[in-house]
Amino acid sequence: MDDMEFHREVYDGLHKIIDIAKYILACDLIKVGREKHQEEKKIVVLNGTSPSKNEEDDMKNIRLTKSGVWQFRKKIEGKEYSYSNKLKTKVIEYKRDFEKRLKTKGTEKLVAETIKFNDFAKKFFETYRRRKVSKRTIEEWTGTFKYFDKFFNKQISKIKPEDFQNFINELVDEKPTTALKLYNKICAICRKAYALQLIKLDIAEILEVPDVHYGIRRALTYDEQVKFLAEAKKLPADTYIFFLFCLITSARREEARRYKPSDLDRKNKTLFVNGTKTLNAPRRIKVTDAFIKLLDKLGAGFQHTADFYSREAKAIFEKIGSPDLTLNCLRHTCATNMVYLKIPVDFRKHIMGHSTTITTDRIYTHIEIGVSKEKIEKLYQNLYFTKF
């Protein structure tokens, strides 16, 4: 090998060493870069901070919880404000809005001065009530919001207890039932507002219940049932069957009024009671052959309004010497008769359309000593279904 060839091989070898060194260096740089990037990501996740000054400000008082939810928490003068969301951007947006309101409104009345009572009432309903009530109750709340929009369209912290009391007292003479319902709703809303520290007084503890007279709600005694049925038989068949319908099925007057022949399943001997007061009100109950024959005499359904049947029942009660009773007492009578007939409490609860047996036993059951199963069966001629 001459000198020229030797130098060429050495030159080529050096170039290969240099290329290898460049490759190793490049790999190290890439590795270092990756590690640095991962470390920066780790810092952001664990500490909620970033190298940017604006991001540092945004992430103050914001943290990622163990459940994977971003949370903003800040304590001001002993009162804690918080907000949680799965999206970090939403939490940052809330924080910016919070700080903006904090600068303009101050700290003590930050929330109370920015929300009106009627708006809070709607938020209260959507959050705590909507899923628990029936379609009819939702419609009732919609009517309530119209009252609130008219009379309480102002800051929740500026409404005094006497404002609510005067509103209820003025309404009770014209619409007593509506006044009582609005009283209950106002109390529920104010309790929640007090718990959230939006108001300083528990207004629900201050308001007085409106004096609404509903009449006595109780079951008819056995003797009253005998007299009531005797007088009801003298009336047209439509009215007599309506009263029996309420006594046997425990239907409220509007529930009985909605009856139509398609609600009766003759094959399975069941009757659908179309209730709308609560989620448990719609119910399907077992009926006897005797009760089915009674409904066959009715035809297409009841012909009069619910108020008509209430007046007819009131007239009978006055005639038999029990003027304090109302049509709703027939529902209480049904609940009590089922106890005499030894129907299990779970079935009684279902027939009444209640969510708990406590309501059935404590509110609707009025036991009279000396009434036997045989007496009730003889009086109603097997109209009650008792084979449970």
- How do residues 142-173 score in pLDDT, each as one tens digit? 889 999 999 998 888 888 899 999 999 888 87
Residue 146 sits in the same domain as residue 87 = no
Asked whether the beta carbons of 87 and 174 are under 8 A apart, the reply is: no
Residue 236 sits in the same domain as residue 363 = yes
Counting the structural domains of the chain, the total is 3
For residue 48, what pLDDT band results from cuts at 50, 70 and 90? Answer: very low
Residue 99 sits in the same domain as residue 128 = no
Residue 68 sits in the same domain as residue 147 = no
Residue 274 sits in the same domain as residue 369 = yes
Structure tokens at 116: 């009106």
39 is a domain residue: no
- pLDDT of 4 above 90: no
Residue 198 sits in the same domain as residue 346 = no
Q: Which pLDDT belongs to residue 12?
A: 66
Alpha helix (H) ranges present in the chain?
Answer: 3-47, 53-58, 88-105, 117-128, 135-151, 161-174, 176-195, 203-206, 222-232, 237-249, 253-257, 289-296, 306-319, 329-340, 345-352, 357-358, 373-380
pLDDT (tens digit per residue) in 220-248: 999 999 999 999 999 999 999 999 999 99
213 is a domain residue: no
Q: Which pLDDT belongs to residue 226?
A: 96
Per-residue pLDDT averaged across 20-48, rounded? 50
Q: What is the pTM of this model?
A: 0.53
178 is a domain residue: yes
Q: Which pLDDT belongs to residue 270?
A: 96
**Among 352, 243, 245, 226, residue whose Cα is nearest residue 308:** 243
For residue 44, what pLDDT band results from cuts at 50, 70 and 90? Answer: very low
Residue 246 sits in the same domain as residue 313 = yes
For residue 46, what pLDDT band results from cuts at 50, 70 and 90? Answer: very low
Q: Which pLDDT belongs to residue 292?
A: 95
Q: Which pLDDT belongs to residue 50?
A: 42
**Helix (H, G, I), strand (E, B), or coil: what is residue 140?**
helix
Residue 254 sits in the same domain as residue 318 = yes
- pLDDT of 340 above 90: yes
The domain of 143 spans: 117-206
Q: Which pLDDT belongs to residue 362?
A: 87
Which CATH number covers residue 176? 1.10.150
